[in-house]
Amino acid sequence: MAKGLDIAKLFFEDSLPLLNSRMPGVMECAAAGLAGEGSECLGFDDETSRDHDWGPAFCLWIPGDVLRAESTRIEQALALLPDAFMGYPTRMRPEARMGRVGPMSVEGFYSRFLGMPRAPQTWQEWRSIPEHHLCSCTSGAVFMDNTGQFSGIRKALLQYYPEDLRRKKIAARCMIMAQTGQYNLPRSLSRGELVPAMLAAARFAEAALSLVHLLNRRFMPFYKWAARSAAGLPVLGQEAVRTVETLAHTSWGIPAQASHAVQEIEGLCAGAAQELRREGLAQAEGDWLWTIGPSVQMGVRDPEIRRLNVMED
């Protein structure tokens, strides 16, 4: 199956001569590509994805003042694009864009996800942005950027979290994994309390997938794509996905399955502890992540971040 991102690039390249001829002044200061929300921006689109918000389209990121001044000419040019491309309905007409494709201001695109029209400049600003929004801003691809304005912000985001904040987040993930998977899950199972066990397993899975993304310096996408994203990451990615898939298939009321799941969790925690020591992020020994987390946080240099509760994100 052709991927949406590849189709978008071909569609843009096919459309570029018309756009250049109809609005040359606009295109000189525009960027184009496909990024933001949607499985195609992550390369995860499939047959199921085609039931909504899917099809040949691209974003035109234009400075806000130019977009406001030239909106009529822009819409007239886009109206000339074909209704279908490579056999798929296109999404460049206003009623089909859903706010995800078509013309949008550079400032508006970033403000929508970051809450600001620029890259964050302090750790507090970084910390205020939901991680899946950072993923949306850095997903997909830029096909053209004639001024570098859009790509400059994207490049700053791709430099990833400030290192002290990354370490703080890693410490918090260790604590959550220990609390849910190494402590509360087996205790819930010993009491026969399956609902707390299920919730503990789910929270462990999300924290583990987040830890993998942090170790690989990649922003984790919206939760439904988190495991698929982690599977392609080199540091503990496959191990984490194997473990969370085991949890997903576990019938917690069957003792043998539950016991195996707990063993898988312990194995992943041991691998995480070993990796953190290997990278010099923790000095604490053992596999109990409740002691590993504070060790990671002790490596944070910024005193304000280091004073935060170790359980806090």
Residue pLDDT, tens place only, 94-118: 999 999 999 999 999 999 999 999 9
What's residue 161's pLDDT? 98
Dihedral-angle region of residue 280 (phi above 0 means left; psi in -120 to 50 means alpha; beta otherwise): left
Whether residue 80 lies inside any domain: the answer is yes
Domain co-membership, 104 together with 172:
no
The tally of domains found in the chain comes to 2
Q: Which residues pair with 59 in a beta bridge?
A: 33, 102
Domain range for 106 is: 4-158
Same domain, 233 and 254: yes
311 is a domain residue? no
For residues 100 and 240, membership in a common domain is answered with: no
Residue 237 shares a structural domain with residue 284: yes
Residues 168-227 pLDDT 10s:
999 999 999 999 999 999 999 999 999 999 999 999 999 999 999 999 999 999 999 999
Query: Quick one: 12 and 133 in the same domain?
Result: yes
Instruction: Report the Cα–Cα distance between both ends of the chain, in Å, rounded.
Output: 39
Distance of alpha carbon 147 from alpha carbon 18, whole angstroms: 20
Is residue 33 in a domain? yes
Residue 114 sits in the same domain as residue 200: no
Quick check: 126 and 162 in contact, CB under 8 A?
yes
Domain end marker among 124, 158, 192: 158
Is 65 among the domain residues? yes
Q: What is the pLDDT of residue 300?
A: 98
Query: In the prediction, which pLDDT does 54 show?
Result: 83
Supply the DSSP string of 196-264, one letter for each residue: HHHHHHHHHHHHHHHHHHHHTT-----GGGHHHHHHT-TTTHHHHHHHHHHHHT--TTSHHHHHHHHHH
Are residues 147 and 168 both part of a single domain?
A: no
Domain boundary among 158, 183, 208: 158
pLDDT by 10-residue block (mean), the chain, 313 residues: 92 98 95 96 89 89 97 97 96 94 98 98 98 98 97 98 98 98 98 98 98 98 97 98 98 97 98 98 98 98 98 91
In a domain, 204, yes or no: yes
Question: Same domain, yes or no, for 49 and 106?
Answer: yes
In this structure, the answer to whether residues 122 and 148 fall within a common structural domain is yes
273 phi/psi in degrees, rounded to 5: -60, -45
At 51 the pLDDT is 75
pLDDT at 286: 98
Predicted pLDDT at 46: 86
* DSSP symbol at 284: -
In a domain, 312, yes or no: no
Q: How far apart are CA 75 and CA 260, in angstroms?
A: 59
* pTM recorded for the entire structure: 0.95
- Pair (181, 86) in one structural domain: no
Among candidate residues 130, 112, 133, 129, the one with its CA nearest the CA of residue 120 = 129
User: Residue 313 domain-assigned?
Assistant: no
Last residue of a domain, one of 158, 181, 198: 158
What is residue 118's predicted lDDT score, i.e. its pLDDT?
97
| Same domain for 300 and 256 | yes
On whether residue 290 sits in a domain, the answer given is yes
The reported pLDDT for the residue numbered 110 is 98
